[in-house]
């Protein structure tokens, strides 16, 4: 069975429930992946993970692998509501990077939320067996039939993009939140040329990790006009995502991290404009939509 994945949350920053977002969904980032060995893999734990957890009720024991791109709220906020945490027969594996500033691992994503003042359940009351795994970029890990390789992608906090490669060769890459770095120096600055070489070297590494994936899921928060005011905020544009997919020869591109101010109609209008502007491309392009499952190959 080929790898398949399902979006449980596609919104950036903050949940946006209501009639204006009912089609694409209002939950923040969460993607469920099922692999050939039938493991439960979850990419990010935004509010979408709550609905995902509902589908697991009645199953026991549950072994879940939750892989976190970065620790901004919209990617971890659903963790305390991942109900399998409360049953002793379950095993939850949490994966993520070591924060460069605090030098703390991914355990902080749960610890910081399960405090008396902020949540009725404290860490000691979590009954499932929780295993924390600190990942290093460029060093693959194996979960069942799937190999997962992290890479550092530019964002205001340490953010890992992940390539998932299954035993049958099907593959997926999720950026988490990502802004393609641009050269801050003007062309006549003595630091311009060396900085551009640093950027090109990094992009080469990023493209190599995304190369030829079946599904490329990319943070595409902004239109070009919006980006002009939000450069440095850590997110890509629709145009930037299309360019990326073209460069790495992705087969399908999924645009996600929809702006919280964006309603369904606006999202579709922007999408049509972006496609028209892009012209013919040799890959399929989709707006990530909550509740929709995609089978690779």
Partner 1 sequence: MTNLDEEQLLVFVDKMPAFRSSVQRLLLLAADLNADGREIVQVIESDPLMTVKILKVINSPFYGLAQKISSVQRAVVHLGINTIKNLALSVAAIGVLPTKNQAGFDTHAFLLHSLTTAALCKLLADRLKVPLMQGSDYFVAGLLHDFGKIVFAEFIPTAYKQVLDTAKEQEINLFQAELDILGTDHSQAGKLLAEHWGLANELVEAIDHHHSEHLHTQLGDCLFAANQISKKLGFGFAGNPVVDELPPDTAHVFGMNLEDLIIDLGDLSTIKNEALAFID
Q: What residue ranges bind partner 1 (CB under 8 A)? A: 97-98, 100-101, 134, 136-139, 150-152, 154-158, 181, 184-185, 191, 193-195, 197-199, 201-202, 205, 232, 234
Give the residue with the Cβ less far from partner 1, 88 or 232.
Answer: 232
Give the residue with the Cβ less far from partner 1, 149 or 220.
Answer: 149
Phi, psi angle pair for 16, to nearest 5°: -135, 70
3-state secondary structure of 134: strand
Q: Provide the minimum distance between the beta carbon of 55 and partner 1 in the complex, in angstroms, as a whole number.
A: 34
Q: Which residues contact 51 (CB under 8 A, 6 or more apart)?
A: 8, 27
Q: Provide the minimum distance between the beta carbon of 27 and partner 1 in the complex, in angstroms, as a whole number.
A: 26
Q: Provide the minimum distance between the beta carbon of 180 and partner 1 in the complex, in angstroms, as a whole number.
A: 11
Give the residue with the Cβ less far from partner 1, 3 or 158.
Answer: 158
Kind and range of the H or E run holding 91: strand 91-96
3-state secondary structure of 131: strand
Q: Provide the minimum distance between the beta carbon of 14 and partner 1 in the complex, in angstroms, as a whole number.
A: 19
User: DSSP labels for 234-290?
Assistant: S--BHHHHHHHHHHHT-SEEEEE-B-TT--HHHHHHHHHHHHHHH---SSEEEE--T
Q: Provide the minimum distance between the beta carbon of 175 and partner 1 in the complex, in angstroms, as a whole number.
A: 14
Give the residue with the Cβ less far from partner 1, 48 or 234.
Answer: 234
| 3-state DSSP of 188-231 | CCCCHHHHHHHHHHHHHHHHHHHCCCCEEEEECCECHHHHHHHC
Give the residue with the Cβ less far from partner 1, 137 or 291.
Answer: 137
Answer yes or no: are the C-beta atoms of 28 and 78 closer than 8 Å.
yes
Report cis status (omega within 30 of 0) of the bond before 61: yes
Give the residue with the Cβ less far from partner 1, 205 or 293.
Answer: 205
Q: Provide the minimum distance between the beta carbon of 111 and partner 1 in the complex, in angstroms, as a whole number.
A: 19
Paired tokens of 96: 């993520």
Q: Could you give the CA distance from residue 188 to residue 162 in angstroms, rounded to a whole number?
A: 36
Q: Provide the minimum distance between the beta carbon of 159 and partner 1 in the complex, in angstroms, as a whole number.
A: 8
Give the residue with the Cβ less far from partner 1, 38 or 186.
Answer: 186
């Amino acid at each position: 069975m080929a790898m398949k994945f399902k979006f449980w949350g596609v919104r950036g920053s903050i949940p946006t429930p209501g009639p204006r977002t009912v089609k694409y969904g209002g939950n923040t980032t969460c993607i469920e992946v099922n692999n050939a060995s039938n493991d439960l893999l979850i990419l990010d734990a935004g509010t979408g993970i709550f609905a995902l957890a509902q589908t697991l009720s009645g199953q026991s024991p549950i072994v879940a692998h939750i892989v976190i791109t970065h620790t901004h709220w919209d990617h971890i906020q659903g963790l305390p509501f991942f109900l399998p945490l409360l049953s002793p027969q379950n095993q939850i594996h949490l994966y993520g990077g070591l924060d460069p500033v605090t030098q703390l691992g991914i355990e902080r994503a749960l610890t910081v939320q399960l405090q008396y003042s902020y949540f009725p359940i404290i860490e000691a009351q979590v009954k499932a067996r929780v295993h924390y795994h600190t990942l290093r970029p460029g060093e693959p890990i194996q979960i069942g039939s799937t190999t997962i390789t992290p890479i550092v992608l530019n964002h205001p906090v340490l953010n890992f993009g992940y390539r998932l490669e299954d035993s049958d060769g099907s593959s997926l890459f999720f950026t988490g939140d990502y802004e393609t770095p641009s050269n801050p120096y003007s062309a006549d600055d003595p630091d311009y040329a060396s900085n551009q070489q640093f950027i090109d070297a990094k992009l080469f590494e990023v493209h190599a990790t995304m190369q030829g994936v079946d599904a490329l899921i990319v943070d595409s928060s902004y239109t070009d006009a919006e980006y002009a005011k939000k450069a440095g905020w850590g997110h890509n544009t629709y145009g930037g995502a299309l360019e990326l997919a073209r460069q790495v020869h992705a087969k399908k591109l999924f645009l996600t991290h929809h702006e919280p101010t964006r309603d369904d109609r606006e999202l579709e209008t922007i999408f049509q404009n972006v496609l028209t502007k892009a012209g013919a491309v040799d890959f399929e392009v989709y707006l990530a939509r909550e509740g929709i499952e995609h089978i690779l190959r």
